[in-house]
Amino acid sequence: MTQFDYDLFVIGGGSGGVRAARIAASDHGAKVAMAEEYRMGGTCVIRGCVPKKLMVFAAGHGAAMDEGAAYGWQVEKGRFDWQAFRHRLDAELNRLESIYTRNAEGAGVTIYHQRATIADPHTVRLADGRRVTAKHILIATGGTPFIPAPYDTLGAWTSNDIFLMDRLPGSMLVLGGGFIACEMAGVLQGLGVQVTQMYRGKQILRGFDQDVQEHVAAAQVALGIHLEVNTDLVSLERLPDGRFRAACTQGRVREFDTVLFATGRRPNTDGLGLEAAGVAVNDGGAVVVDAYSQTNIPSIFAVGDVTDRIQLTPVAIREGHAFADTVFGGTPVAVDHETVASAVFTRPEAGTVGLTEAEARAQGPVEIYMASFRPMQAAFINAETKALFKLVVCAQTRRVLGCHIVAPGAGELIQIAAVAVKMGATKEDFDRTVAVHPTMSEELVLLRKPVR
């Protein structure tokens, strides 16, 4: 019988990899090792969800001060101190990184703080030259942002750089229309940066419900963001003073202090040794796996963004846990990737779960219930902030197929609504629920007549 150094070797110390390692070791008694080349915690904790959300909070306080003044408070609003915030942010990320490390080691996981690549189906090669064998290898290296050629040598930023900047730029061009582009545009504008957001598609947040897209786009413009859709970059050059000159397909030529490319992320598989090990990847570089996260090589598995199934941290965590239970717990668990809720932390936020109107109509007849209004808090001070609540209902079964919210706190609201949608609640179930008044979310149970 072949003897291995470990039962499991995990490559990548992010949310999915750490969960898999901890459960395999603590719950199922496996001998586990892990390698992380940068910082424990991965994209979400170190350069994604967590620092992003803290920046969203920071940006929101500026608007809150303006709101407070409108409500009668005497407010003296100064400039945002990025250095003070950055100091606290670094300290918080250090704290979270230490927790991730401590929790993994506490579960009995051996951590190698260096890069690891796959040498063969049962062997991992460490950066220091050591070779380690394992009965099972789990790839959990996540995704990585990129700058497309020919602009990748000019010193433009990706989302990774936002959290490391020494000072706030005066102006920024944000390229892209997805989660990251929209969130960063709103955050930076809220911190005092003059932001232009450029997207080549016809509307931002591709793949979201059309009403959500249009509502968020209008909100971005209302914030003061110069949103330009159906517009692409033609040329970009770095000027002697370090600024950028950008020309676009609309014929405009402008200068910006810096440029952020938020045009997508790709699976972090370059140089990982997958080809030598025979692991199949798709055209985008994502590791191809089955319902149990197993690759075409029986001993090698993959979870999280590196598989490009759903690029969300809670999905990676669920996949990592399911992997550990399947392989080491003797209980096969296939993760349900249907009806996964998500939130975009724009200002206001957008939350969505289930089918868009277009997706639902492609399956059969639907009824659409929707309301757009100014919440009480905004209406009182004549602020232009508007909320959107939308239900997509199957006309035959009456099931709520989709719920879409754009409102302050939509990320919190959609989590609760997701339970009902996942359970298969009908429109009549919503109708029978007594409203909580006065709240914005009561609109979900007061939408009586379809708008179409």
Q: Tell which phi-psi region holds residue 332, choosing left (phi > 0), alpha (psi between -120 and 50) or beta.
A: beta
**β-bridge mates for residue 351, sequence order:** 343, 405
Catalytic residue status for 404 = no
Write down the catalytic residue from 28, 321, 404, 437. 437
DSSP string covering 122-157, please? TEEEETTS-EEEEEEEEE---EEE---TTSTTS--B
Q: Is 10:21 a contact under the CB 8 Å cutoff? A: yes
How far lies 9's CA from each of 14, 100, 278, 427, in Å? 14, 17, 18, 47
* CA gap 94, 102 in Å, rounded: 12
User: Cα dist. 100→10, 141, 143, 340 in Å?
Assistant: 14, 16, 19, 25
Tokens, residue 66: 């303006």
Catalytic residue set: 437
